[in-house]
Amino acid sequence: MSSDNLVEFQNVSFAYGKRPILNGISMSVPRGKVVAIMGGSGCGKTTLLRLIGGQIRPAQGQVLVDGQTVHDLDADGLYHMRRRMGMLFQFGALFTDMSVFDNVAFQMREHTDLPESVISDLVLMKLHAVGLRGARDLMPSELSGGMARRVALARAVALDPMLIMYDEPFAGLDPISLGVIGNLIRRLNDALGATSIVVTHDVHESLEIVDYVYFVSDGVIVAHGTPDEMRASDKPFVHQFVHGEEDGPVPFHYPASSYGSDLRLGVKNA
């Protein structure tokens, strides 16, 4: 266990009921880096983030954050650790009953005793960083998808976290917002001296901005390396994923009995 890694998974398995999600995953996220976790939908990427945040417990193995085993922490320890994490949820998860300003101010008001004038300055700085200082009085329902994602990003970094986690930050964005969010992820990480984990299936956008990539499929890590290594990789899964091919190790067809017998084409026991 080296202290150069902020997050470490050691042989972690997890299952929802009887459905196995993760199967012996080991990986590490070095301090100061932006690491992407990629894989098809429903392959357990979000589960990895929930394990880091301590929202679920692994069935087996250990998740270490900053040298501490997450699931050994008591409620206070866990909440203490979460204050140093920021998370961007898939669709922003902004509090719909609060304005943009109050959303970003939420954690500062909950966790600090700062006077309102200081909070106001801090919030405007965070909003300025994502280019939405002028939108402070809008309600989340008045924002476009890309703007909501940027507000959520400002909220995630409100307390200058050591670890920022992104759950599908690119899902459902137009090309302009896509580039904006990608650059913000990189810039914020470097400006804050934080470490970032980006869970995504958007290959092209994320390969541009990240330092290292893990590919997850069926609950195991099938490949990992730098973006350049991944682009050049000839592993069938990575090739299929990076180039978006329809069929390959990840089949186009959901497992089914044979086509002929389904259509009753007279072939018995086909």
Partner 1 sequence: MPNSLVRGVRRTGHRVIDSLWRLGVASRFFVLILLHSGTSFRRLHLIIKELFSTGVLSLIIILVSGLFVGMVLGMQGYDTLQRYGSEEALGVMVALSLVRELGPVVAALLFASRAGSAITAEIGLMKATEQLSAMEMMAVNPIARVVAPRFWAGVISMPLLAAMFSAMGVFGGYLVGVKLIGVDEGSFWSQMQNAVDFQQDIVNGIIKSFVFGVAVTAIALFEGYDAPPTAEGVSGATTRTVVTSSLAILALDFMLTAFMFRGEG
Nearer to partner 1 by Cβ, of 111 and 187: the residue is 111
Nearer to partner 1 by Cβ, of 25 and 88: the residue is 88
CB of 53 to partner 1, least distance (A): 5
87 near partner 1, judged by CB under 8 A: yes
Query: CA torsion sign, 128 to 134 to 136 to 140?
Result: negative
Q: Is 253 left (phi over 0), alpha (psi -120 to 50) or beta?
A: beta
The single-letter DSSP state of residue 252 is S
Window 23-62: residues binding partner 1 (CB under 8 A):
53, 55
Place of tokens 């969010």: 181
91 near partner 1, judged by CB under 8 A: yes
Element (H, E) at 163: strand 163-167
Which amino acid, residue 203? V
- Considering only 3, 18, 42, 110, the residue that binds partner 1 (CB under 8 A) is 110
Nearer to partner 1 by Cβ, of 90 and 240: the residue is 90
95 near partner 1, judged by CB under 8 A: yes
Nearer to partner 1 by Cβ, of 110 and 247: the residue is 110
**Distance of CA 68 to CAs 61, 142, 189, Å?**
13, 41, 22
Nearer to partner 1 by Cβ, of 113 and 247: the residue is 113
- Considering only 96, 117, 141, 257, the residue that binds partner 1 (CB under 8 A) is 96
Q: How many residues bind partner 1 (CB under 8 A)?
A: 19
90 near partner 1, judged by CB under 8 A: yes
79 near partner 1, judged by CB under 8 A: yes
**Distance of CA 192 to CAs 76, 172, 185, 237, Å?**
25, 27, 11, 34
Window 111-140: residues binding partner 1 (CB under 8 A):
111
Are 141 and 172 in contact, with CB atoms under 8 Å apart?
no
Which amino acid, residue 50? R
Are 34 and 231 in contact, with CB atoms under 8 Å apart?
no
Residues at the contact surface with partner 1, assessed by CB under 8 A? 53, 55, 79-80, 82-83, 85, 87, 89-91, 93-96, 106-107, 110-111
